[in-house]
Amino acid sequence: MKTEITSTIKDAQFAPTLTNDEIDLRELFSVILQGKWLIIAITTIFAIASVVFAILQPNIYKSEALLAAVSEDQSGGLSALASQFGGLASLAGVNLGTKGSTDKTQLAIEVLKSRQFTSEFIQKHNILADLMAAKKWDREAHKIIYNSDLYNEQTNTWVREVKAPFKPEPSMQEAYKVFSKIIAIDKAKETGMVTISVEHLSPTVSQQWVTWLIQDINKVMKNRDVAEAKRSTEFLNQQIALTNVADIKTVLYKLIEEQAKTIMFAEVRDEYIFKTIDPALAPEEKDKPKRALICVLGSMLGGMLGVMFVLIRHFMRNRAESRY
């Protein structure tokens, strides 16, 4: 008997709660239904705004090239010397390209991403205006339209208004920040292939910049190795003059011979670090913006904000009425 009374009391306690939850859920849908026109209006406004925004965004084109690291078969002689005369080579300050040496491909990628290389690249090819002041691409006239508030194309001068320490002409630090956002360098772990891509308002500019980047990084890395080989040769010649031991002189002459091979291979190869497998092309289709996606996301955002606004307004009214 006592058990039945306790069960009846528990049922009586939970019944109102379930009823209230059901009423609240119905009330929630009722509020949304009553405010449907407001929700539709807010959604429509956001949809129109997203369409206008998407239309106003300029087309961005991406050009990319597929590269392969150049084979280092020419270093076979150096590898043999490294295993036989590694100690003497280290004393001579010569890197013989052992297995523990720095990966030249990865080193070249890091150089590509560096501030120094980017600054020299921008100045060498005179692309600061195309990078910092381009507004849109005129496909029919095949030319870049510049932002007149930033750059005067007729006088070739910068007219942007900035506060100190910035100047009208963008600094290389500013240019580096912008350039690092439009360039992408990816190395495939499985194949070791490297992809370099550049995004720009102009399809021809993006293609040209990718081509220049490949040419310049090959040249920079080649000049580095040639300069290092020449310095090593000078040092080895000095050591030969200072020693009278025939065996050591023999080793040093072999090291000089390998440095000469390094210089020779560098001079005869234009594609010193990267060999182009698939060259960059001027893209015919834009890469972004995704206008349809922008419109869909804008409409969804408007719908969610509309529902939230209607619910918040309803609960705020109920709270205000409960105070009086």
* Residues 97 and 163 occupy one common structural domain: yes
Name every residue whose Cβ is closer than 8 Å to that of residue 38 and which is 6 or more positions away in sequence. 306, 309, 310
* Residues 22 and 130 occupy one common structural domain: no
CA angle 243/249/255 to nearest 5° reads 125
DSSP state, residue 158: E
Summary mean pLDDT of the chain = 82
Residue 242 lies in a domain: yes
CB 306 within 8 A of CB 40: yes
Residue 232 lies in a domain: yes
Distance CA 63, CA 287 (A): 9
Residue 284 lies in a domain: no
Is pLDDT above 50 for 75?
no
Per-residue pLDDT tens over the stretch 138-164:
888 889 999 999 999 899 999 998 888
Q: Tokens at residue 187, please?
A: 């190395």
pLDDT of residue 90: 52
Distance CA 286, CA 79 (A): 48
* Residues 243 and 298 occupy one common structural domain: no
* Residues 176 and 101 occupy one common structural domain: yes
pLDDT of residue 33: 85
Per-residue pLDDT tens over the stretch 192-210:
899 999 999 999 999 999 9
The structural domain count of the chain equals: 2
Residue 254's domain spans which residues? Answer: 61-278
pLDDT of residue 266: 79
* Residues 220 and 301 occupy one common structural domain: no
Query: 3-state DSSP helix/strand/coil percent for the chain, to nearest 5?
Result: 65, 15, 25
* Residues 205 and 74 occupy one common structural domain: yes
